[in-house]
A and B are shown apart, each in its own frame.
Chain A
Amino acid sequence: MNKSENSTAVADKLVHPMSDLLRMDRMPHIWCSSCGLGTTLTCFIMAVRESGVDEKKIAVVSGIGCSGRVAGYINLDSFHTTHGRAIPFATGLTLANPELRVVVYSGDGDIVAIGGNHFIHAARRNMDMLVICVNNFTYGMTGGQAGPTTPVTAKATTAPYGCYEYPFNIPYLAIASGATYVARWTALHMRRLKNSIAEALPKKGFRVIEIICPCPTAFARKNRMGTGLDLMKYYHDNSIIKHGADPKEADIQMTGKIIVGKFLDIERPTFRDFLVENVSAQIGRK
């Protein structure tokens, strides 16, 4: 056996240690080289395993976009819905079967632009679901258009002179709308992100984890920010871990610090709690 045949044979035997949680028959994935989405997915499947939650009872719901493709790669019950509508689909799913741990895994454009209304209302209701919102500041799948998270002055294919809109601050939006667990990490913070997902997954109520993620092909290229690795270095140098930080201070600018950490972790009755306690009690009295 010559050297190249040998290396091919080795490669054939190389199996991802958590391949049972991935749909290996769908690999290779569509994500670009040095995109952060693969890292976030690795953190997610590690967290699933660590959390001890029954994997049969986890359902992942995605919308549309690069992040929306997660549902197609994860070997759990998974639903790839329409653009922006993962949260209302997940609402029906979680209400029909309270045993399910429902995870919405999608992008910033999907969740806070076209799906923004669903996001705030599901938070208001404290609906049982974990929302993992991968924020790469752009619409990657369609080639790098500006969106509701694009920082002011950032360039995009639909903002050639620089973005002239204020972006959403997702943790602030989530908390103001009623979420009960809110954290932000970057794709660099693998261990902390994994721990955060593992912590939030078994909880009740509306939980949000924002993941700041490099998009080397669209966002970074348009803004001359380098490769995914350069962005990871940027996160390394500019992230400040500040648990319990005031979310008002967590705005993300084109340059400057990125506040990460767990902003909020509280308990309040969920939609189902109210339903069971209030409505059932009244019907019982009838």
Chain B
Amino acid sequence: MSGDHACAEGGLAAGCSFFAGYPITPSTEIAERMSERLPEVGGIFIQMEDELASMNAILGAAWGGWKSMTCTSGPGFSLMMENLGLGIVLETPTVLVNIQRGGPSTGLPTLPGQADMMQAKWGSHGDYEIIALAPNSPQEIFDLTVRAFNLSEEFRTPVLVMSDESVGHMTEKVVIPPREKLQITPRRYTKKKPGEYLPFDFGEDEIPEMVKAGDGYRIHITGLTHDKRGYPVINAEAQDWMVRHLMRKIQKNKHRIIQIEEINIDDAEVVVVSYGISSRVAHRAMDLAREDGIKAGMLRLITVWPFCEEKIRELAERVKAFVTVEMNMGQIALEVERCACGKAGTFLVPHAGGEVHNPEDIYQVIKEAAK
């Protein structure tokens, strides 16, 4: 099964019943698969007029009580940024998949890139925290799309799946577990009665409960800075309360969100940091280095945002250097550098996109870093 199709199947397995999207290479096959499969399970597929509309439609469907998703790539991701921000401020569970291609602008529509990683973090205006997952195979895009839905329900927030053209168009074996073996997080609907419920009230874990339109709660939800009732409040105090809450909701719970894979880390002197398709090439380079007697290990980021700061800090105390491998000119490498705090060397193997790295190039940098 292709990565794109596996992504669609992951959405369906997680209970997605609404998909709104706009065709864009290389993510289109997700929409195509959804257009065929959703009506079979009683869901709705709609092809919107653009990505602005797609992002809004999935937010509306979420407040209508459905699990929803969209997918896009390149310029479409830029258009979705406006209302990704709305989804974050309205604290709306939904999933946005980006099958990254080469940019900027129209760039390389049919070829891979990983240069939207910082856009995923900062792309919509204002301060917020985001959850972004980076699969490196068709199987993992299935698994992580399911997980993205679960995290979106658990934390009442949009979740990004940041894949790339290589994974999206790659065909590999995908095992779809039977429904009863999948862990699916249901929406956290409130048990409170109308009049008692406040849409942005939360407890210790910072996560407010949900309702849906039509249940008699007479909620008001706004993209303006608001209080816990959802009413707009235009002052610095309300802004401080709301923005800090949006940040804390993810930061406080990051131990529940961050997933990393550690390979040959225990005795490693050089740690390769990578994610998505690049991690598969980086893995080969690490093996080449090991064959050559270099103590190389790898840290694969399955969750890219929030970033595994503590892990990098801890490793920086004992390893010689980090080598970040990503299909961009250095984005996650900046995070590695920040967290390494000068305690370990930091190297980057950049690539402007269009094809995966050559493992030999990575190997050369590992060798350099091990000196």
Contact = CB atoms under 8 A, between A and B. Distances in A.
A85 B218 contact: no
A26 B66 contact: no
B64 interface: yes
Interface in A105-149: 117-118, 121
Interface residues on A, range: 35 or more
Contact of B213 (A25, A26, A93): A93
Nearest to A74: B220
B350 to A, nearest CB: 35
A96 B18 contact: yes
A57 to B, nearest CB: 5
Interface stretch (A32-40, A44-52, A75-83, A215-223): A75-83
A75 to B, nearest CB: 5
Given A91-B46, A96-B18, A117-B49, A77 B57 contact: no
B86 A82 contact: yes
Contacts of A28: none
Interface stretch (A178-186, A241-249, A275-283): A275-283
A97 B64 contact: yes
B126 interface: no
Contacts of A92: 18, 20, 56-64, 68
Contacts of B222: 71-72, 79-80
Contact of B86 (A81, A118, A121, A271): A81
Contacts of B310: none
A100 B212 CA distance: 11
Nearest to A127: B46
B60 A100 contact: no
Contacts of A76: 218
A172 interface: no
Interface string B32-55: 000000011000101011101110
A71 B213 CA distance: 14
A5 interface: no
Contact of B46 (A25, A84, A95): A95
B56 A79 contact: no
A231 to B, nearest CB: 28
Contact of B223 (A77, A82, A121): A82
A126 to B, nearest CB: 13
* Interface residue SS majority, chain B: mixed
A64 B85 CA distance: 15
Contact of B64 (A26, A71, A100): A100
A279 to B, nearest CB: 5
A80 B224 contact: yes
Given A72-B232, A85-B56, A80 B49 contact: no
Contact of B56 (A71, A81, A96): A81
B83 to A, nearest CB: 6
A88 B218 contact: no
A280 B18 contact: no
Interface string A85-103: 1011111111111011000
B329 interface: no
Given A88-B52, A92-B62, A95-B61, A78 B231 contact: no
A23 interface: yes
Interface string A64-76: 0000000110011
B237 interface: no
Given A72-B222, A91-B46, A96-B62, 18 more contacts: A79-B213, A80-B232, A81-B59, A82-B82, A82-B223, A88-B57, A90-B60, A91-B20, A91-B56, A92-B56, A94-B64, A95-B61, A96-B18, A96-B61, A96-B64, A97-B64, A121-B48, A121-B53
Interface of B: 18, 20, 39-40, 44, 46, 48-50, 52-54, 56-66, 68, 82-83, 85-86, 212-224, 231-232
8 contacts: A78-B221, A80-B221, A91-B46, A92-B57, A92-B59, A93-B64, A97-B65, A279-B39
